[in-house]
Structure 1
Amino acid sequence: MQSSQSQTQWQLSGLTRRARGLLGASVALGSGAAILFVWQLSLLAHLVDDLTFQGQPLTSVESDFLKVIAFSAGFLVLQWLADMAGTEAGLRISASVQQDGLKHLFRAGPVGSATQPTGQLVTTLTEATTALEPYFAQYIPRAAMMVVLPLFILARVFALDGWSFVVLACTGPLVPLFMALVGYSAQSVMDRQWVQLVLMGSSFMDYLKGLRTVRLFAQTQNSIKAMTAQTEAHRLATLSVMRIAFLTSAVLEFFASLSIALVAVIFGARLLSGTADFRSAFLVLLLAPEYFMPLRAFSASYHARQNANAAAKRLADLFTLPAYAAARYGTEQPKHAGSVEALSCHMLSAGYATGKTEQINCVTATFYKGQLSVLVGESGAGKTTLLRAVLGFLPLSSDTCAAFDQNGQSIALQNCRMAWVPQRPLLVFGTIAENLRLAAPHASLADLHHVAEQADILPFIQSLPHGFETQVGERGSSLSGGQLKRLALARALLGKPDILCVDEPTAHLNSESTASITQTLSRCARDCIVIAATHQDTLISHADQVLYVSQGHVTSFRERAVA
C-alpha cells in the first residue's frame, strides 16, 4: 500500500499538486486572455463592416477603435502573465523534485544508492528533472486552452451561423482523437529514447572512470566504437520521436486546413446567393483559424507530455531506493554528547534487502574507548556490513546498538559523532585544506595542522610547495595510497569523532605505511572508540580486542593481556 502511494506521488498528477496555485493562475489568466481575444475579434469585425459596407465615417468609430486596442493590450498582458505563471510552476516543480531526489539519495546513504548505477542516478537527477519543466510550463496550460478557447469560439459562432458551428464542432474533436492514437506509439518510442540516454550516460561515466584500465588493455578504439554505437542508437531514437511529432503536426494541419476551407467555401457560396451577411461571415472566418490555434500549440508541446511520462518513471525508480540511512543521519552534524566510553551491540542483525538472508545476524559485542578493536575474517564474512550497521548506513531494530558514557548512562546514537574511513577514500577535486574541511567547514589552520600531525601526514604536507593549498587532483590522483589513507584519516579526526570506523586501512600499502597507520590508529584509540576491519597481521598484533567474524556471526574474540 505504501509502495503504491509512493508511486502515485511521483506520477505527473501527483507532481502537479506542488504548484497547483501557479498552474491554476496560469489557466485562469489564459482563460481571461481567451475571452478578451474573442471580444477583440468581434469588435474588429464590427469596425470593418461599419467602415466598409455601412459607410460610417472614421470619427464615428473612434470608440470602437480604442476598444480594439484596449482589448488587444489586455489580451497580450494576460497571456504574458499566464505564460510567466506556467513557466514559474515548471521551474518550481523541477527544482523541488531535484532537491527531493538529492535528499532521498542522502537518506538512502552509500549502501542504498549503490543499488543503481551512478550514471543512471546522474541522468535522472539532471535530464529527468529538466524534462518535467516543459510539461508543467507548456503542456498543462495549453491543454487547458485547447478546451477553453475553442468553447468560447464555438459559443460565439453558434450565435452567428449554425452551419459553421456544425463544421467546427464536428472537425475539432477529430484532432485530439488522432493525436491520442499517435500518442500510444509515441510513449513506447520515448521510453526507448530514455533507455538509450541512460545507457549512454552510464557507459560514458564507466569508461571515464576506467580510462587507465581501458588504455592498459588496449581497448581504447573498442570503447570509442561502443560509445559511438550507443550515441547512434540514441540519435535514431530521438529522430523517431521527432518523426512522430511531425506526424502529429501534419494530422492537425490537415484537419484544421480542411475545416477552415470548408467554412470558407460554404460562406462564399452563401454570400454570393445573398443568404449571409458580411459581418457574420468575416467574424466566423476570423474565428475559424483561431479555433484551431490552441490545438496547434497543444500539438507542438504534446511530445513534452511523452517525455515527462518517461522521466517520471525514472524518478519513481530513484525514489524506490531503500532509505537505509534515514533513521540516524540528518542534514546537520550531531551535537557533541560528551565522552562516549563504550558502544554495545546486542543481537545486532542487518542486511541489504528486506525479506532476504541478513548479512550479519545476532552479533553481540562491546567496543571500548582506549582499546583498538579489530574485526577479522574472510572476505564476505560480514566485517564491512557490521561497520556500516554501526555507522547507521543500514537500518537496525530497536535497542540492538547503544552508546554509554563513563557513568553508564545511555547516549542516543544520533548524538554521537561518527567518522568513517572506507577502503577506498574519496577526495574531491580541490586543495588538501578543502578536503580536510569537509569534516569541519570552519576549522582553523591550526586545527588542520593538529589532525595532520595525528595522522602522521604533516611532514609530507609541509614538504609540498603550497602546503595545505596543494591541489590533490581528481579523486586524489596526485597522492600515493598511503598518503591518501592518512589524509582521509586526518579528515575523519577533524570531526572529533566519538566512534571511528576504518575499513581495511592498511590494504595494498607497503610495510612503512602499514606501520605508520597502525601506530596512528593506536594513538586515536586513546581518545575515541576505534573499530577497524582488516586482514593485516601487523594491525591485528597491535589490537587490544580482536573479533573473529564468520558468515555474519562473531564466532570468538580475544583481548590482549594488560601487562
Structure 2
Amino acid sequence: MRPLDPRLLRRARAARRYVALTAALGVAAAGIVVVQAFAIAHTLGPAVTAGSAGTPLALADVAPWLGVLVAALAVRAAVAWAQERWAQKAAADVVAELREQVVAHTVALGPRPAVTEGDEGAEGAAATATLATRGLDDLAPYLVRYLPQLLLTAILTPALVLVVLGLDWVSAVICVVTLPLVPLFMWLVGVMTAGASERRLRTIERLGAQVLDLLAGLPTLRAFGREIGPGARVRALGDASRRATMGTLRIAFLSGMVLELLTTLSVAIVAVGVGLRLVEGMIALVPAIAVLVLAPEVYLPLRRVGAEFHASTDGLAAADRAFAVLERPLPTTGTLTAPSLPGATLVLDGVGVRAGDRGLTAPAGLTTRVPLGTGSPGGGRVVALRGPSGAGKTTTALVLLGLLRPDEGRVLVEPAGTGGTAVVDLADVDPATWWPQVTWVPQRPALTPGSLRDVVTDGRAVGDDALAAAARTTGLDEVVAGLPQGWATPVGLGGTGLSVGQRQRVALTAALLDGGPGDGAPPPVVLLDEPTAHLDARGEQVVLDTVRAWRDAGRTVFVVAHRASLLALADQVVDVRSRAVGPAEAVAS
C-alpha cells in the first residue's frame, strides 16, 4: 500500500494545497530545530565549562543565545499550531470533497447496486452509504496525523542528518545505518497485518448494510409482532464491530511498540558514542550537546510515522474503496430531446433486466404497448404492473423512469399523431428532458428536512386553496390537523416524526402539486411503487382517490399493484414475470 495515493491529490484539491503547505511548514520546522539545537548547545556549553572550572558564568555570554532559544521555541510552537489547524481544516475539506464525489457518482451510476469487486455479500446501497459516512471518516486521522509526519520525515530527517554530519561524522554514520531499520520494521509490520484494514472496512460495510436492512424492515416486523426477535442479531453485529475495532488497536499497539523500541535504542547508541568521545576529548562540548539535542529529532518524525501507521492503513483503505466507486464507468446517456408524452404510446419490446446476485432476469421478455393519457380532463389512464414478489415490477418502473437501461430489449416512444413513423428509443433520449415529464412516488418516500409546507410544495409558490384541495384528496389534511404546528411543523431527515403512511400522503400530495418544468402543466406520467403496501383500508382509499384524481386530470398513472382494489381501477394490466438466468447468460453477465 502506497503511503500517499496519487489519486488522492488528483481527486481532492484540498489535499494538494495541504501537501504543499505541509511541505513548506516542514522546511520551516527543519530550520527551527537546527537553530534550537545550537541555541541550547551555546547556552549549556559555557555554563558547564564555567561550573567545571569553578568560575562564575557571565550572563552576557549566554543572553543572546537564550533569546534565540526562546524565539525558536515560540516559532516552533506557532508552526506546530499552524500544522494542526490546517490539518484539521484540510481533513474536513478532503473528506467532504470525496464524500460529495462518491455520492454524486453513485447517483449518476443509477440504481444498480454500487458494489465493487470484492464486496461479496454486501448490499450496494448500504455499502456505499457506510463508505460515504463512517468509512471516509477514517481519512481524517490519516491526513491530520500520518501525512504531516510522512512529509516531515522526507524533509526534516535528511536535513538534520546533514547537520549532524557537519558536527560529528561518527554520529551521522550511526544515524545513516540505523534509520533504514525503521521503515524496514514498518514494512515487516505491514506484511504481518496485510489486508487487515481492508477487511475491517469491509466488515464495517457489511455490518452497516445488515443494520440498515433491519431498520428498513422494522415496520414490517412490528406489524407481525416480531420486532423483538432481531435483538440477538443486533447484539451479534455489535460484537463483530467490537472485534474489528480491537483488531485494529492491536495492530496500532504492535507497530508503535516495535518502532519506539528501535528508535530509542538508536538514539541511545548515538548518545553513548558521543559521551565516550567527549570523555576522551575527541569532540568539543558545544558540538556534542548539539548532536545530543538533534539525535532524537532525527528519529522523531519516523517514530510518529510508526505510531500513526494504523491511521495510514485505515485512511488509505477508505480512500481506495472510494476510488473504486469513482472509477466505475458511468452509463452512456442519450442526446435526443424527449418527445411530448400526452397521447403518445410506450412500447416495451422484450425488456429484460438481469438481477445480478439473484441469478434472475426480472423482468424477463416484457413486451407490451401502453397508450398514454391525452393530458386533457377525462383522458387519463391507469396502468397496473402485476406480478409476484421479485418478478421485477419496481425494476420495470425504474426502466420507464430512464434510471435503468434494460439488458435485453428496448423501450420505444411513439409520439402522438405520427402513426408509429417517428419512433424514439428511450436509450437515445437525454434524461434531463425525460424526467420533467414523469413524477415518481417510491414505496418508502424519503422527505427532505424542512417544514411540512416546504416539503410538499418543494419551494414552489402554491396558494392556500390549491394546497388545501390537494391535502383533502390525499387525506393529508387530517395529518396536518393533528400536528402541533400544522403546515409549519418541521419534518426531519427522511420524514422523521411521521409514520410510513403519513409520509406516503405527503409524497402523494407533493405529486399532485407537481407543476412540471417551470411550474407549467403537471408531468403527464406518474409512477407509483406499491403505494398501498403499508397502509390500512382508510389509507388505501386515499391512494385510490388520488389515482382517480390523476386519471380524471388526463394523466397516465403506472402503479405497481398487488391489491385487487388497485387492479380493479386499472385500464390496463401488464403482467411482469422473471426468468432464471442460464449458465451461458451468467457467464456473459
Matching residue of 1:528: 555
Contact 1:112-1:321 within 8 A present in 2 as well: no
CA contact (8 A) 2:346 2:412 kept: yes
User: How many positions carry a matched residue from both structures?
Assistant: 534
Letter in 2 for 1:528: R
Assess if the C-alpha contact under 8 Å between 2:385 and 2:558 holds in 1: no
After superposition, residues 71-86 of structure 1 pair within 5 angstroms as 71-86=72-87
Q: How far apart in 1 are the matches of 2:289 and 2:534? A: 86
The equivalent residue for 1:261 is 268
Of residues 412, 417, 420 in structure 1, which corresponds to 2:437?
A: 417
Distance, in Å, in 2 between the alignment partners of 1:190 and 1:503 is: 39
- Going from structure 1 to structure 2, the CA distance change for 1:323 and 1:401 (only over 3 Å counts) comes to farther
The CA deviation at 1:386 is 2.9
| TM-score (norm: length of structure 2) | 0.76
Offset of residue 150 of structure 1: 1.9
Counterpart of 2:363 in structure 1 is 359
Q: Which runs of 5+ in 1 are unaligned?
A: 1-7, 330-334, 554-563
Q: Which moved more, 1:278-287 or 1:356-365?
A: 356-365
Aligned twin of 1:24: 20
Cα distance change of structure 1 residues 503 and 328 upon mapping to structure 2, 3 Å threshold = farther
Q: Which of 6, 14, 22 lines up with 1:13 in the alignment? A: 6
Once the 2 structures are TM-superposed, how far is the Cα of residue 305 of structure 1 from its aligned partner? Answer: 0.7
Indicate the percent of aligned positions where both proteins have the same amino acid: 28
CA–CA separation in structure 1 for the residues paired with 2:549 and 2:323: 47
Q: Which residue number corresponds to residue 129 of structure 2?
A: 122
Deviations 1:66-115 (A, max 9, x none): 33333333333334333333333222111111112222343344454698
- One of 350, 368, 374 as aligned partner of 2:373: 368
State the partner residue of 2:33.
Answer: 37
Partner of 1:489: 508
Offset, 1:181: 0.6
- Counterpart among 147, 151, 172 of residue 179 in structure 2: 172
- Over residues 434-478 of structure 1, what are the superposed CA-to-partner deviations in whole Å (9 max), with x where a residue is unaligned? 5524x4565454442132234365467557776545688986886
State whether residues 339 and 415 of structure 2, in contact with CA within 8 Å, keep that contact through their aligned partners in structure 1. no
TM-score normalised per structure 1:
0.79
1:133-532 equivalences under 5 Å are 133-211=140-218, 223-316=230-323, 318-319=325-326, 327=333, 340-346=341-347, 349=351, 351=353, 359=363, 361=365, 364-369=369-374, 370-379=379-388, 382-395=392-405, 400-402=411-413, 414-415=432-433, 416-426=436-446, 432-433=452-453, 435-437=455-457, 439-440=458-459, 443-455=462-474, 457-458=476-477, 461-462=480-481, 467-468=486-487, 485-496=504-515, 497-498=522-523, 499-505=525-531, 517-525=543-551, 526-532=553-559
- One-letter amino acid of the structure 2 residue matched with residue 351 of structure 1: V
CA 1:144–1:432 in 2, change beyond 3 Å: closer, same or farther?
closer
- Once the two structures are overlaid, the 10-residue window that deviates more, 413-422 or 110-119, is 110-119
CA–CA separation in structure 2 for the residues paired with 1:176 and 1:476: 51
Distance (whole Å) between structure 2 residues aligned to residue 284 and residue 472 of structure 1: 65
Partner of 1:58: 59
Q: Provide closer, same or farther for how the CA distance between residues 182 and 421 of structure 1 changes in structure 2, counting only shifts above 3 A.
A: same
Alignment of 1:531-546 (within 5 A): 531-536=558-563, 538-543=565-570, 545-546=571-572
The structural deviation recorded for 1:131 is: 0.6
Alignment match, 1:93: 94
SS class of match (2:195)? helix
SS of 1:53's equivalent in the other structure is helix
CA shift for structure 1 position 208: 3.9
CA–CA distance in structure 2, aligned partners of residues 311 and 265 of structure 1? 44
Between 85-94 and 460-469, the greater mean CA deviation after superposition: 460-469
Q: Distance in 2 between matches of 1:194 and 1:266?
A: 46
Query: 5+ unaligned residues in a row in structure 2: which ranges?
Result: 116-121, 516-521, 580-589
CA distance change for structure 1 residues 347 and 321 in 2, over 3 Å: closer, same or farther?
A: same
Contact 1:440 1:495 in 2 (8 A): no
Do the aligned partners of 1:502 and 1:533 also contact (CA within 8 Å) in 2? Answer: yes
Moved more, 220-229 or 27-36: 220-229
Is the CA contact (8 Å cut-off) linking 1:456 and 1:516 kept in structure 2?
A: yes
Query: Match for 1:378: what amino acid?
Result: G
| Distance change >3 Å, CA 125–CA 391, structure 1 → 2 | same
Matched residues in 1 for 2:432 and 2:241: separation?
46
Residues 372, 522 of structure 1: 8 Å contact kept: no
Question: 1:272 and 1:328, CA in 2 relative to 1: closer, same or farther beyond 3 A?
Answer: same
Worse-superposed segment, 37-46 or 62-71: 62-71
Distance 1:240 1:479 in 2: 40
Instruction: Return the alpha-carbon distance in structure 2 between the equivalents of residues 425 and 101 of structure 1.
Output: 22
Aligned residues of 1:374 and 1:534 also touching (Cα < 8 A): no
Between the aligned partners of 1:253 and 1:508, the Cα distance in structure 2 is 60
Q: What RMSD over aligned residues (CA atoms) do the two structures have, in Å?
A: 4.2
Distance 1:403 1:502, change over 3 A: farther
Q: Which amino acid aligns with 1:283?
A: A
In structure 2, do the counterparts of structure 1 residues 376 and 495 end up closer, same or farther at CA, with 3 Å as the change threshold?
A: closer
Does the residue aligned with 2:372 lie in a helix, a strand or coil? strand
Q: Distance in 1 between matches of 2:170 and 2:127?
A: 56
Deviations 1:133-168 (A, max 9, x none): 121222122112123222122111211222212211
Quick check: 368-377 or 489-498, which moved more?
368-377
* Per-residue deviation, residues 318-371 of structure 1 (Å, max 9, x unmatched): 5477867x9599xxxxx9x99852344346546256999573556554423323
Check the 8 A contact 2:348/2:410 in 1, yes or no: no
Tell which deviates more after alignment, 246-255 or 416-425: 416-425
Structure 1 residues 275, 442: closer, same or farther in 2, change over 3 A? same
Structure 1 residues 247 and 382: alpha-carbon distance in aligned structure 2, compared to 1, 3 A threshold: closer
